[in-house]
């Protein structure tokens, strides 16, 4: 069975909906950020702070290559996975890649109380940072053929949509 790979901006529900749909489909759930944290022995914010974003992206790239070579997984990627087009190309060869599109307003609402998002932590104006990041990444997200606008969806609705897509394409 193919992998189901979830791509989207922070706060779009990749991990929450991914866990739910993996359980429904009987697939293994993999949260890339959690795997990187476990392997490196640091949280994502600590990796960004002590090693820098470039090193984090190297860890992310290596893990994307590894996971793309496996099957029967629901993979929740980090929000910046699209910054390296090779990641999406690898995942597309062995899986069904779905982009969770989220509006800047919904992303802000879902992330405004979190403290584990290194690209937002240093910003006094989180909402402006979200708008800027999302605008920069939008063409990369929009290039993914399968899109779900999750801005107004619950986690259950997201999992329902993912399950339908997976069953249609597998």
Domains of the chain: 3-163 (3.40.50.300)
The CA angle 45-50-56, to the nearest 5 degrees, is 65
Residue 152 has pLDDT above 70, yes or no: yes
Give the pair of three-digit tokens for residue 166: 């997976």
Give the pair of three-digit tokens for residue 169: 């394409």
- For 71-100, what is the mean pLDDT? 96
Higher confidence at residue 84 or residue 116? 84
Runs of H (alpha helix) within the chain: 14-25, 32-40, 44-50, 53-68, 85-94, 104-111, 118-121, 126-142, 155-169
What is the reported pLDDT for 35?
98
- For 145-165, what is the mean pLDDT? 97
Whether 163 contacts 25, CB under 8 Å: yes
Tell me the average pLDDT of the chain: 91
What is the reported pLDDT for 44?
87
What is the reported pLDDT for 34?
95
């Amino acid at each position: 069975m193919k992998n189901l790979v979830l791509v989207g901006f922070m706060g779009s529900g990749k991990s929450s909906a991914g866990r739910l749909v993996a359980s429904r489909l009987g697939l293994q759930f993999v949260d890339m950020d959690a795997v990187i944290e476990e392997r490196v022995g640091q949280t994502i914010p600590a990796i960004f702070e002590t090693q820098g974003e470039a090193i984090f992206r190297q860890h992310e790239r290596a893990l994307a290559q590894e996971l793309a070579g496996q099957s029967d997984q629901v993979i929740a990627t980090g929000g910046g996975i699209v910054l390296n087009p090779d990641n999406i190309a690898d995942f597309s060869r062995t899986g069904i890649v779905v982009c969770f599109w989220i509006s800047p307003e919904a992303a802000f609402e879902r992330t405004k109380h979190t403290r584990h998002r290194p690209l937002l932590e240093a910003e006094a104006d989180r909402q402006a940072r979200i708008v800027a990041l999302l605008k920069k990444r939008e063409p990369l997200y929009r290039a993914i053929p399968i899109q779900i606008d999750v801005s107004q969806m619950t986690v259950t609705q997201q999992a329902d949509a993912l399950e339908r897509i997976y069953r249609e394409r597998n």
